[in-house]
Structure 1
Amino acid sequence: MEDEYTIGDLVKELKINKETIRYYEKVGLLSEPKKNTNGYRIYSKEDIEMIRFIRVIKGFGFSLKEISILIHGEILCGSIEDIITMVEGKINELNIKINELEEKKSLLEKVNKTLSSEDMEACNDLQIYIKK
């Protein structure tokens, strides 16, 4: 009985809400839990570890669909090359986002420099545009 947990235990242990746990069950990331005689869901230590795994991988930017592929596909049990390909794809996605953010930052720095400068004409043009 020591390795049996209620959904409330998982909420406390993992600092996650019940709806998230139920959603993970619904989409197949967690297997259907056993139920006790009262009909309450009973979870195992493996379920706790799976939720921790999901949260860590999600923190790396993987979608729940990608996590499902990792869990249920043959990727975790199969080819390391498939895992490498998936991780490299995620790295590429992050690099694209980083480049986009750097471009936005650069643009905002230029706008800030212009607005902070003594070039009041540009500021006046901006104020006119904002008021429209």
Structure 2
Amino acid sequence: MRSSEVAAVTGVNVQTLRYYERRGLLAPPPRSPAGYRAYPADAVAVVRFVKRAQGHGFSLDEIEDLLHLAEGGPEDCDTARELAEAKLVQLAEKIADLQRMQRSLTDLVATCERPRTDRCCPLLHTLHTEGEDR
């Protein structure tokens, strides 16, 4: 398959394929006599694996590890589970941070509902004065 075909089938652009090659996620394909990349059919499966893993929050470095594990045997399932459990912890931390930010902004926005004479924008005040006592 040519680059444009793999890209179209997987929903990525050609530059993404080349980037995956440089990162070592996708094996560099042989070239046709005209110089075009000639990807094997399994390149589509690899790109889809990468995109699904990204959809689950894994970084490209983590995906590289997962791809190597996918080539191994059943014992690699334990290692993959450990990576997934670590990702779950990271996601829980991100969710907690996002919820904290949401609560903080909700509180700040609520002050805007006060009468004009009774409000002072705490967000602007904080941004204006933060770090002055250092």
Q: Is TM-score (shorter-chain normalized) higher than 0.5?
A: yes
Match of 2:51 in 1: 55
Identity of aligned pairs, percent?
27
For residue 111 of structure 2, the aligned residue among 109, 114, 127 is 114
SS at match of 2:120: helix
For residue 81 of structure 1, the aligned residue among 63, 78, 81 is 78
- TM-score, scaled to structure 1: 0.83
Match of 1:96 in 2: 93
- The unaligned stretches of length 5 or more in structure 2 are 130-134
TM-superposed CA distance for 1:121, in Å, is 3.1
Provide the C-alpha distance between the structure 1 equivalents of 2:56 and 2:11, rounded to a whole number of angstroms.
19
Match of 1:8 in 2: 4
Match of 1:36 in 2: 32
- The unaligned stretches of length 5 or more in structure 1 are none
| 8 A contact 1:7–1:41 mirrored in 2 | yes
The superposition leaves residues 32-74 of structure 1 with CA deviations (integer Å, 9 ceiling, x where unpaired) of 1011111211012200111001000011111111111111257
The superposition leaves residues 72-92 of structure 1 with CA deviations (integer Å, 9 ceiling, x where unpaired) of 257853332211110011010
| 8 A contact 1:33–1:42 mirrored in 2 | yes
Provide the C-alpha distance between the structure 2 equivalents of 1:104 and 1:62, rounded to a whole number of angstroms.
23
| 8 A contact 2:57–2:87 mirrored in 1 | yes
Would you identify which runs of 4 or more consecutive aligned residues in structure 1 move more than 6 Å?
124-132
